[in-house]
Structure 1
Amino acid sequence: MYTQQDLDDAVASGALSADSAAALRSFVEGQRALPAVDEEHFRLITGFNDIFVSIAAAILLFAVGWIGQSIGESIGLILGDDGPSPLAPAAVAATAWGLALFFTAKRRMALPSILLLLAFVGGVFGTASLTIGALFGAGFFDNNDTATMGVIAVSAAIAAAGAWLHWRRFKVPITIAAGAAAVAGVALAALGAAIAHLPDNDNIMLGLVLMLGIGMFLFAMRWDSSDPARQTRRSDVAFWLHLLAAPMIVHPVFTLLGLNDGNAGIGEGLVVILLYVALGITALAIDRRALLVSALAYVLFALQALFREFGAVELNIALTALVIGSALLLLSAFWHQARRAIVQPLPDGLRARLPLLDRPVSPVPAA
């Protein structure tokens, strides 16, 4: 499949005229029976070769990590007596960057690019944390939560810097989300270090996760609003940011409501369903389904509790699955119509920042 970026590159190199590229897009649109509006396109695989390369890359990264660990043990560069060595994640990060120079920069393979990005950022984080740990010694962190959180914060900051360098070189859409997650990790670890002495700090941490999730959502909307037609990689960047923001918003809200204690009653169940409806309206307005998916486990649990309270003990799971499955399928089938009903009454200024209702069909954005 040719992507928007491929066509743009062909026009820029002179291999294809701008008029020819526009005619090709129009032809593809006309060949489709249904307009692909309101669909979250993003590149994951372009063919089975993506899966093949990803499997091979995973095997290679595992091998170099093992070899790095073995070398670290032989020279005594390990955490504690028999702990991990910083050479293992360093080898993984270096190998991931090297592979990305070909499979991402030259071949533009989507799934391997995602895998290599995650391996690189994770390797940078692991290298930083294990190096700091080896310098101070494992005993320094025994019963010292403040020091542990401090190391996590510093390592996450280094990982965020690594993600920024990766974005500057390769422009893989998920990189922004990985860097944002690392920045969130810095904030959470810093707060954890500051309140480690408090006896009950879970709610404080959940509150910060919620605020970070809202900030992540607004950051994602900034990327989304810059590409309302969803024809560039900025839309892919927003997709991954929404995917990161959704659980950071949903989990703290439902946890603070007490849904995770396993004792949800009628009141809590109704609140969860109302919140899920509100999330559904938001998802329709911004044309992103990540919020609905992230909250799905909670609403399933709440509905199951409601059916159990009303006496449908034996069939509560089946009835819950029936209701949610049917509702989501109906919403998917009539997503465009439902979204139009939500978006059209909005003020012009707000509607201008949302994805277009009748945006043209375009190729999948490039990775």
Structure 2
Amino acid sequence: MYSETDLNSAVDAGVLTPEAAAAFRNHIAATRLAPAVDEESFRLLTGFNDIFVAIAIALLLTAVAWIGGWIADPAGGAAVAVVSWALAEYFTRRRRMALPSILLLLTFVGGVAAALVGVMTETNPDLPDRLDAVIIAGIALVTAGAAWLHWRRFMVPITVAAGGAALVGVVVALFMAATGARDEAVYPMVLVGGVAMFAVAMWWDMSDRERRTRRADVAFWLHLAAAPMIAHSVFHMLGVFDGTIGIGMALVVLALYVAFGFVALAVDRRALLVSSLAYVLYALYALFQKAGAVELSAAFTALVIGSALLLLSAFWHPARRLAVSLLGDLAKRLPPVQQAVAAV
């Protein structure tokens, strides 16, 4: 599979003429009967070798973490971070392998965080909660800095989302330190962080409305990180899983899912729908049980939601055209509804 980034790279290298690349884009759009942006493409695999290399990396880093942790808790995370960076010099910077690059970014920032947590627990594991929160904020800030350094060197699209999530962690931890809030009180702050990440994702998306550069990949991962922060926070604050859900709450959950669906159609990103899926399944399951279909409530729930999502997928383009038509001038800043024919 070749991404838009690969096509642009081939044009820049002189392998393809701009006219040939444009003709290829038009051909693919015509065969799929939808704009390329609706496919929400991102590069996860460049071939089966990505999976092979990712498995090997996972085995190696597991061993490194195990041996380092046997020496000292901070050593395991530090060793993973160092080895991940070294491997990225080859598999990311030179080979441009997609899945190994994603894995190495996650293990690098995770290793940095784990090393710092190891230092904290070995120094004094029984600190007051507020001081713990301040230290965790510092760890998250250093982790965000590590993600920034990795981005400057390797520019893996998921890096921006990882750094953004770490910065949200900084804000949440500082909030807990300042207020002494319990875990349940954190959800509003996580929601604010998720909305902020969604806004950043939209900034990246609007800078590449036709999704032909790396910026669209960055936006994809930012949306993927923001969606669970928004969805889980909203539904947890509503108390969806606190007890037996009533008909009123079930209808509220379904209404929110429809609202999330409208947002997903407008911005042409499906992450919010996926992140909210468990809650709407639970709500519909409760409604079927209230209606008396106790034995088949799970089956009816899967049937209704599965059918609805398949229909939405099949008619995504006309549904999106309708949703965007309701937004007026804002539609000019969103991904195009009509496929723009590239000049050949």
User: Residue in 2 aligned with 1:267?
Assistant: 248
Determine whether 1:236 maps to 2:217: yes
Of the three residues 214, 222, 229, the one matched with 1:248 is 229
> Is 1:351 the equivalent of 2:331?
yes
The amino acid of 1:231's aligned partner reads R
Contact 1:220 1:242 in 2 (8 A): yes
Moved more, 249-258 or 178-187: 249-258
Q: Which has the larger radius of gyration?
A: 1
1:148 aligns with 2:148: no
| Residue pair 1:125, 1:159 contacting (<8 A) in 2 also | yes
Cα shift readout 1:222-261 (whole Å, capped 9, x = no counterpart): 1111111011111111111111111111112111112111
Distance 2:20 2:306 in 1: 44
| AA partner of residue 300 (structure 1) | L
Q: Tell me how far 1:262 sits from its aligned partner.
A: 2.7
Residues 1-367 of structure 1 aligned to structure 2 (within 5 Å) = 1-26=1-26, 28-29=28-29, 32=31, 34-35=33-34, 37=36, 38-70=38-70, 72=71, 78=72, 85-134=73-122, 136-138=123-125, 140-141=126-127, 144-196=128-180, 201-348=182-329, 350-360=330-340
Structure 1 gaps of 5+ residues are 73-77, 79-84, 363-367
Over 3 Å counting, the alpha-carbon distance change for 1:323 and 1:17 in structure 2 is: closer
| CA separation of 1:237 and 1:325: change in aligned 2, threshold 3 A | same
**Equivalent position of 1:81 in the other structure:** none
Deviation at 1:42, TM superposition (A): 0.5
CA distance 1:28–1:205, shift in 2 (3 Å): closer
Instruction: Give ranges in structure 2 of 5+ residues lacking alignment.
Output: none
Compared with structure 1, are the counterparts of its residues 326 and 24 closer, same or farther at alpha carbon in structure 2 (3 Å cutoff)? Answer: closer
Q: Within 2, Cα distance between the matches of 1:158 and 1:180?
A: 12
Query: Which residue identity is paired with 1:305?
Result: A
Shift of 1:313: 1.3
Task: Provide the rounded CA distance (Å) in 2 between the counterparts of 1:207 and 1:92.
Answer: 33
Paired amino acid for 2:339: R
With normalisation by structure 2, the TM-score equals 0.93
Cα RMSD, aligned residues only: 1.9
Which residue in the other structure is 1:365 paired with? none
- Cα distance in 2 for residues equivalent to 1:324 and 1:63: 42
What is the deviation of 1:55? 0.2
SS in 1 for 2:94: coil
**Aligned letter for 2:287?**
L
Counting matched residue pairs gives 341
Residues 8-63 of structure 1, C-alpha deviation per residue, up to 9 Å, x if partnerless? 33333344443344344445556x35345411100111211000000001111111
SS at match of 2:39: coil
- CA separation of 1:21 and 1:317: change in aligned 2, threshold 3 A: closer
Note closer, same or farther for the CA distance 1:202–1:361 as it changes in structure 2 (3 Å cut). farther
Tell me which stretches of 4 or more aligned residues in structure 1 moved more than 3 Å. 13-30, 33-37, 359-362
What is the rounded CA distance, in whole Å, between the counterparts of 2:288 and 2:129 in structure 1? 43
**Cα 1:13–1:60 shift into 2, 3 Å:** same
Percent of aligned positions that are identical: 57
- 1:309-347, CA deviations, whole angstroms, 9 ceiling, x for partnerless residues? 121111111111111111111101000010001112321
How far residue 210 of structure 1 moved from its aligned partner, in angstroms, is 1.0
> Compared with structure 1, are the counterparts of its residues 250 and 361 closer, same or farther at alpha carbon in structure 2 (3 Å cutoff)?
farther
User: What is the CA distance between 1:6 and its match in structure 2?
Assistant: 2.9
What's the TM-score once normalised by structure 1's chain length?
A: 0.88
Aligned 8 A contact 1:7 1:21 in 2: yes
One-letter code aligned to 1:275 = L
Cα–Cα, structure 1 residues 6 and 320, in superposed 2: closer, same or farther, change >3 Å? closer
Aligned-partner Cα distance in 1 for 2:24–2:186: 51
The aligned residue for residue 75 of structure 1 is: none
Q: C-alpha separation between the residues in 1 aligned to 2:258 and 2:23? A: 41
Q: Which deviations, in whole Å up to 9, do the C-alpha atoms of 1:174-222 show, x marking residues without a partner? A: 00000001001111111122233x5xx3443111111111111111111
